[in-house]
A and B are shown apart, each in its own frame.
Chain A
């Protein structure tokens, strides 16, 4: 093929760069606003480089949205961590059973029920979930939040798709050797599944870190608030602590951004695969 003329390539790069900068600008603005003074911002709302950098904003959010920043960070880490581990274990086992015995009537019913519940408008599902949590006595605690966040469609589709591609000969060979199903799963399948487990864990971490509505609804007090919920509460408070809000948004954004950049290939690959095949 002929190489495209230089002006065409220049134009393409200009367009792609412009779009990318527009998408990244909110991050730069959030970053600089967290470190600039109100006077500086009002004088030059567009500027990104802080004239007088300061960390006052971070001191102002030691208590934010009814919870201490340290506690919100710990809540985020604990809730996201625990729900990620649980989601990976529960979904992997479930998807494995459902793909190994796809024609069992109970499993067909379970799969249909799961897909149906994943289609229910999520934020409206959270409302009846409040009633269920109430009936189960799980309102206000970590257990209810963690359990609710341990079920998701992306995780299920990724595992299901992986287990469907398993070579059956390997399983048959192990069966002939007298291995039980539990042995086959833990000794044969699990080592092969390590990459998909890592991908699902990373994606679940990113998705659950961002969760806010279930956390807000199941919480009885701000003591169980995670970072996004505390940020939302701070943003809704009377009086404008603009820099504090930007600092809080920064604290909420940085951990998943770092995880994503470190594992971008797996995250982008996993999310597209889960979507296309699901």
Chain B
């Protein structure tokens, strides 16, 4: 009996955590998936009308959704490549023997945006791009460079968004690379140097393979991060101009806002499936790497 009571205490400890997980994690997800199989007009009623896969058929026949899906995937690839290559380059620079004093300052400068509320950061960026108030075009004029369309032009809006998001997120990836660089085996690089390997060869064959753990973590985080891009769109572009930044998450939210609950939750489920696929693939890859 005392043994059972002893075990029971652990269930008591876990109870609040379990309650929150069920109430605000699992239940809403199940509810969302359930709504995706019902008719929007009746979705919130006690006895919703089941429509099978009709919502899924509808969204995959919707050219706006398909374009948003392709755009989301393309943006994710671009944003991940830009963020991780910048972060790797900057981390290597800070880790190199060339930088001694001031290292902490450089680290803090790129990490401060990570803990800055994203709404505040993106509001500032929205105005930095502004044609009359903004500093971006004023700076380009000063340097004698052509003007940047920023958020106003469909051709540059995605790039403008990507730069602002890089500002907000890249510091995190820099930190992960730095943590990995700090535990690198320096003896290997020195041995390679004595053997006459060039700096580039040492980087490719000695440093880069040892950075695999950080690369894997950053890749998973960044892919999931940019697949879900939402706040930047809400604050800076509202999906425009001319749908140039209309990503799946924003489009789904718009559908929900206009009471298309069935289709909105179907889109959410599709995005969830993609995120889950990425996460599981990465997880299995990491397990294999460890074995």
> Scoring B residues 171 to 182 as 1 if CB is less than 8 Å from chain A, else 0, what string do you get?
110011001000
In the complex, A227 Cα to B17 Cα: how many Å? 28
Is A151 among interface residues, defined by CB-CB distance under 8 A? yes
Is B217 among interface residues, defined by CB-CB distance under 8 A? yes
Set of chain B residues within 8 Å of A49, measured between Cβ atoms: none
The chain B residue sitting closest to A227, CB to CB, is B117
Set of chain B residues within 8 Å of A26, measured between Cβ atoms: 113, 121, 124-125, 128, 167
Q: Are A1 and B97 in contact (CB under 8 A)?
A: yes
Set of chain B residues within 8 Å of A46, measured between Cβ atoms: 135, 138-139, 142
> Scoring A residues 204 to 245 as 1 if CB is less than 8 Å from chain B, else 0, what string do you get?
001001101100000000000001110110010000001001
Q: Are A119 and B142 in contact (CB under 8 A)?
A: no
In the complex, A244 Cα to B17 Cα: how many Å? 41
Q: Are A185 and B116 in contact (CB under 8 A)?
A: no
Q: Are B24 and A30 in contact (CB under 8 A)?
A: no
Q: Are A256 and B115 in contact (CB under 8 A)?
A: yes
With contacts A29-B135, A180-B9, A260-B112 taken as known, whether A124 is within 8 angstroms of B32 at the C-beta atoms is yes
In the complex, A127 Cα to B28 Cα: how many Å? 8
Is B145 among interface residues, defined by CB-CB distance under 8 A? no
Q: Are B99 and A12 in contact (CB under 8 A)?
A: yes
Set of chain B residues within 8 Å of A44, measured between Cβ atoms: 138
Q: Which of A8, A24, A121, A242 has the most CB of B within 10 A?
A: A121
Set of chain B residues within 8 Å of A91, measured between Cβ atoms: 17
With contacts A121-B228, A231-B120, A232-B234 taken as known, whether A101 is within 8 angstroms of B7 at the C-beta atoms is yes
Q: Are A121 and B249 in contact (CB under 8 A)?
A: yes
How many whole Å from B171's CB to the nearest CB in chain A? 8
How many whole Å from A188's CB to the nearest CB in chain B? 14
Is A42 among interface residues, defined by CB-CB distance under 8 A? yes
Q: Are B13 and A276 in contact (CB under 8 A)?
A: no
In the complex, A272 Cα to B181 Cα: how many Å? 13
How many whole Å from A275's CB to the nearest CB in chain B? 6
Q: Are B235 and A232 in contact (CB under 8 A)?
A: yes
With contacts A101-B7, A121-B272 taken as known, whether A110 is within 8 angstroms of B18 at the C-beta atoms is yes
The chain A residue sitting closest to B142, CB to CB, is A46
With contacts A114-B21, A231-B120 taken as known, whether A90 is within 8 angstroms of B28 at the C-beta atoms is no
How many whole Å from B288's CB to the nearest CB in chain A? 18
How many whole Å from B276's CB to the nearest CB in chain A? 6
The chain B residue sitting closest to A226, CB to CB, is B117
Q: Are B179 and A272 in contact (CB under 8 A)?
A: yes
Is B265 among interface residues, defined by CB-CB distance under 8 A? yes
How many of A's residues come within 8 Å of B, CB to CB? 95
Q: Which of B93, B112, B272 has the most CB of A within 10 A?
A: B112
In the complex, A45 Cα to B150 Cα: how many Å? 16
Is B148 among interface residues, defined by CB-CB distance under 8 A? no
The chain A residue sitting closest to B100, CB to CB, is A9
With contacts A121-B275, A124-B272 taken as known, whether A23 is within 8 angstroms of B167 at the C-beta atoms is yes
Task: Spot the interface stretch: A67-75, A190-198, A263-271.
Answer: A263-271
List 6 A-B pairs, minimum CB-CB distance, nearest first.
A94-B17, A117-B25, A128-B28, A20-B109, A12-B98, A210-B117
Q: Could you list which residues of chain A lie within 8 angstroms of chain B, going by C-beta atoms? A: 1, 4, 8-9, 11-13, 15-17, 19-21, 23-27, 29-30, 33, 41-42, 44-46, 89-91, 93-98, 100-101, 104, 106-107, 110, 113-114, 116-125, 127-129, 131-132, 136, 147-148, 150-151, 180-182, 185, 206, 209-210, 212-213, 227-229, 231-232, 235, 242, 245-246, 249, 252-253, 256-257, 260-261, 264, 267-268, 271-272, 275-276
26 of the cross-chain contacts (CB-CB < 8 Å) are A16-B90, A16-B106, A26-B128, A29-B135, A42-B133, A94-B13, A97-B11, A101-B7, A101-B10, A110-B14, A119-B275, A120-B29, A120-B275, A122-B230, A123-B228, A124-B252, A124-B253, A128-B28, A131-B28, A181-B6, A185-B13, A232-B123, A232-B235, A242-B133, A252-B117, A271-B172
